[in-house]
Amino acid sequence: MLIGMLEPGTEIPLSELAGTLGVSASQVASDLEMLSMCGIAPYSPGDLVPLYVEGDTVQIYGAMPALDRRVRLSSAEARALAAALQAAGRDSTDPLVKRLLHAASDIADPGEIERVVRTTTGADPGTHTTLASAARHSEAVRITYQTGGTETLTERVIEPHALLNERGVWYVEAFCRTAGAIRTFRIDRVADTTRTGEHFEPGPISVPGRALPTEGLPRAVVHLAPGVEVPEREWPGVRVVSENDSGTLVEVPYAGTGWIARQVASFLGAARVREPAEVREAVAQLAASELVALTDRQAPAPDPKRREISSMTRSESRRSTSSTGRAARNERP
């Protein structure tokens, strides 16, 4: 492994090699010392690996006796690379995956690996790459983003600081110039990205431990009907307040009412918000608008009775109709 990284006539900091191989600099120094004693018969000075360690660097003063090209991936390494690329949305049909595995391994068909190991993800590889590259080079990006739980697409310019993967879902943590604050965006809700070419001064943000910190967020009090399991994994930071025969009372941190309203509504009546009022209202509105949408889809022609639904819901429904082209669908028999 090390030999393939040692280019004749170069001087390489031990820390670079250590970082690449994931070991300490002293371990690299020790391995290099050993390597300098390896070679081919008759093991005269010209037949040994031509290097010496001096201080914090290694000097490669001649050509390797052999193995002077990069060695292909072992099957385990190819599997690791394919699994990692899958996790970023690049499956076996991705051109980069095909090219990498074809050139660097014996595995002619990346699909073979995919049929045995699968790391699913919802990320679009192009979006992921753009945001990762922008984070690395401190470049602002214009994104079109669908806010959680709503149909609204907003344009924002963000300064990406870090990428995070939680349970297979990718997020980008960024300073949002539109909001004037740090925000975490789900990458699978980014509809479009455009690099701006504007560079920003990276702030003191380091890679945070988790994508969804819940400290400091407002909390909704939600009652779950008897027998309903507390969705601990779906509701980050959820806390049980009380539990008895009449059900479970929980506190749920939420960043926006759109997300929590949709979560509560998805329990189809088995979850009920006690407070605050803004979340109760959001749930009520969401349920009403989803009912309208369901009715629209089932009915071939507009039903006058639907007009009895609250005016706010109707206007929201109209907005979404015009933006999504539902009106055209409704005209079909």
Partner 1 sequence: MVDAVERLVNLALFLAAARGPVSAEQVRAEVIGYPEGQDEAAFLRMFERDKDELRGLGLAIEATPDGRYRLDAERTFVSGLDLAPEDEAALRAAAVVLLDDPSFPFAGDLRYALAKVSGIADLDVPAAAHLADEHPEAQGETAATLAASAAACKRVTFVYTNTAGRSAPHTVEPYGLFLNAGRWYLVGRDTVRQEERVYAVARMEDITPNTARPRSTDFERPVDFDVSEYIGLPFQYGPGELFDAVVKFAPSVTWRAPALTGGAGELRPEGDDLCWHVTARDAARLARWVIAHGPGLAIESPPEAVDLARSGLAGVADAHA
Among 293, 306, 314, 330, binds partner 1 (CB under 8 A): 293
Least distance from partner 1 to the Cβ atom of residue 174, Å: 11
Count of Cβ atoms closer than 10 Å to residue 273 Cβ: 23
Judged by CB under 8 A, the number of residues near partner 1 is 122
Length of the chain: 333
d(CA 310, CA 317) in angstroms, rounded, equals 11
Residue placing its CB nearer to partner 1 in the complex, 178 or 310: 310
Residue placing its CB nearer to partner 1 in the complex, 149 or 219: 149
Residue placing its CB nearer to partner 1 in the complex, 206 or 311: 206
CB neighbour list of residue 92: distance below 8 Å, 6 or more residues apart: 82, 98, 109, 110, 111, 113, 114
d(CA 226, CA 245) in angstroms, rounded, equals 6
Residue 301 engages partner 1 in binding (rule: CB under 8 A): no
Q: How many CA atoms lie within 13 A of 242 on its CB side?
A: 6
Among 59, 150, 154, 330, binds partner 1 (CB under 8 A): 150
Residue placing its CB nearer to partner 1 in the complex, 3 or 140: 3
d(CA 45, CA 2) in angstroms, rounded, equals 20
Tell me the three state secondary structure of residue 211: coil
User: Binding segment for partner 1 among 51-59, 202-210, 239-247, 249-257 (CB under 8 A)?
Assistant: 202-210
User: Binding segment for partner 1 among 50-58, 146-154, 244-252, 299-307 (CB under 8 A)?
Assistant: 146-154
191, two tokens: 């509809």
Residue 218 engages partner 1 in binding (rule: CB under 8 A): no
42, two tokens: 């008759």
Residue placing its CB nearer to partner 1 in the complex, 1 or 181: 1
Residue 167 engages partner 1 in binding (rule: CB under 8 A): yes
Least distance from partner 1 to the Cβ atom of residue 210, Å: 7
Spell out a b/e string for 76-94, using b for 16 or more CB atoms within 10 Å of the CB, else e: eebbebbeebbbbbbbbeb
Q: How many CA atoms lie within 13 A of 8 on its CB side?
A: 10
Alpha helices in 202-273 (DSSP H): 257-265
Residue placing its CB nearer to partner 1 in the complex, 29 or 114: 114
**Under rule CB under 8 A, which residues in 42-101 are in contact with partner 1?**
43, 49, 65-67, 69-81, 83-85, 87-88, 90, 96, 99-100
Among 11, 40, 62, 242, binds partner 1 (CB under 8 A): 40
Residue 319 engages partner 1 in binding (rule: CB under 8 A): no
Torsion of CA 79, 82, 88, 89, to 10 degrees: -120
Residue placing its CB nearer to partner 1 in the complex, 43 or 61: 43
User: Binding segment for partner 1 among 55-63, 177-185, 242-250, 291-299 (CB under 8 A)?
Assistant: 291-299
**Under rule CB under 8 A, which residues in 242-261 are in contact with partner 1?**
none
Residue placing its CB nearer to partner 1 in the complex, 219 or 320: 320
Q: In which residue are the tokens 């068909």 written? A: 109
Residue 106 engages partner 1 in binding (rule: CB under 8 A): yes
Spell out a b/e string for 115-144, using b for 16 or more CB atoms within 10 Å of the CB, else e: eeeeeebebbbebbbbbbebbeeebbbebe
Least distance from partner 1 to the Cβ atom of residue 142, Å: 17
**Under rule CB under 8 A, which residues in 268-287 are in contact with partner 1?**
268-269, 272-273, 280-281, 283-284, 286-287
